[in-house]
Structure 1
Amino acid sequence: MGTLSFTATVSVDGFAADADGDFQWTAPSDEVFAFHVERMAPVSTEILGRNTYLLMRYWENEPVDAPWGELERQFAAGWRAIDQVVVSSTLTPGDLEGSRARLVPTLDLDELRQIVHDVPGEVEIFGPTTAAAAIRAGLVQNFRLFVVPKIVGAGLRALPPDARLDLRLVEHRVFGNGITYQHYRPREQS
């Protein structure tokens, strides 16, 4: 049986993308990227929405014109080893890359519970829109937030505004570029 985690890079005011949909300001430094490579080791399954999947598809094939460095190759190898559940009503199976991706048109909470129950390790639900119902329902066991020292004012909220959870900080780290990593769990968990 797995555990369900939500990871997001957010502005200080809680947005994953600004009002124009831009999230380039979330790009990690080498230090933060190395932490992501390490952090992804226990993840066995990723649940992604369409936009997040299309973004992460970059890691399926190394670009010829801009070769990756060692950290990027490590991340890509780890990414390709993770099962991916892509939630989209507009993509088709032909749009998926990699042998570990499967498409579901919708993801209700019962199906999400079943996915988490059926896999070992950590299931990461990635993307604020895809994760919103699970967060509201209290299904997420780990919240991993990378907070960028930037205020963007408006945009795509990382967390649903109507979610109410009592969390406790279990891990905290400050990186050299000012980004902080905050790992929270619901208070009733040990």
Structure 2
Amino acid sequence: MKDAGISTTSPQIGHIMGTLTYTATVSLDGYVADASGDFQWSAPGDEVFAFHVERMGPVSTEILGRNTYLLMTYWENEPADGSWSSEEREFARRWQAIERVVVSSTLIDDDLGSGTRLIPHLSISELAGIVRDASGEVEIFGPTTAAAAIRAGMVDDYRFFVVPKIVGGGLRALPDDARLDLRLVEHRTFGDTAYLHYRAG
């Protein structure tokens, strides 16, 4: 059984009191992974990583799909050789402190680390409740998990790290049928990587 993103079978909801952010590192042609599933080209350099550490400050909740969660379990325990830098330790500290919600129909609770909640499917109304009840910013991580929220206009902020690579196909950062009106509220560059922060409305 494949994991699913947000279910669109629930009724549409009204105004959401909190904020929901979608963050992605993308190729110049709009993909987060190429046709073979490779995304190593999106690994952040030192400047971008330091910015990610800073950016995690207001985030209180992270919503992830199965594959993204398994990738991020790296930050649950420092390697035995103590090879993390001080910035990596700070990122790990912040990551471990936030609430993590994993959307997966194949994982079980025993697969998860502490501070992580498992739900098999994420409805629009359930996502609205998570955002409403969060003490800070809610970040939804992964294009499959985020797709229905994007289509429904639930995402308040879009943060893209655009790397100078064209991969020609693969997993798109945004669903093909999304229709959005956004405004640019922040932008900066880190070497050849462009950071673009857009806000809905």
Inter-partner Cα distance in structure 1 for 2:175 and 2:125: 20
Deviation at 1:67, TM superposition (A): 1.3
**Partner SS for 2:128:** helix
Question: Which letter maps to 2:149?
Answer: A
Deviation at 1:120, TM superposition (A): 1.6
1:52 aligns with 2:83: no
Tell me the equivalent position of 2:22: 6
Tell me the equivalent position of 1:170: 185
Query: Among residues 163, 169, 180, which one is paired with 2:194 in the alignment?
Result: 180
Inter-partner Cα distance in structure 1 for 2:40 and 2:81: 21
TM-score under structure 2 normalisation?
0.91
Deviation at 1:114, TM superposition (A): 0.5
Inter-partner Cα distance in structure 2 for 1:4 and 1:25: 26
Inter-partner Cα distance in structure 2 for 1:78 and 1:114: 23
1:133 aligns with 2:148: yes
Q: Deviations over 1:89-144 (max 9, x none)?
A: 000000001x2100000001000000000112100000000000000000000000
Deviation at 1:146, TM superposition (A): 0.2
Question: Which letter maps to 2:72?
Answer: M
Tell me the equivalent position of 1:149: 164
TM-score under structure 1 normalisation?
0.96
Query: Among residues 86, 98, 120, which one is paired with 2:102 in the alignment?
Result: 86
Listed as ranges, the gaps of 5+ residues in structure 1 are none
Between the aligned residues of both structures, percent identity stands at: 72
Inter-partner Cα distance in structure 1 for 2:126 and 2:38: 31
**Partner SS for 1:51:** helix
Query: Among residues 117, 137, 140, which one is paired with 1:102 in the alignment?
Result: 117
**Partner SS for 1:130:** helix
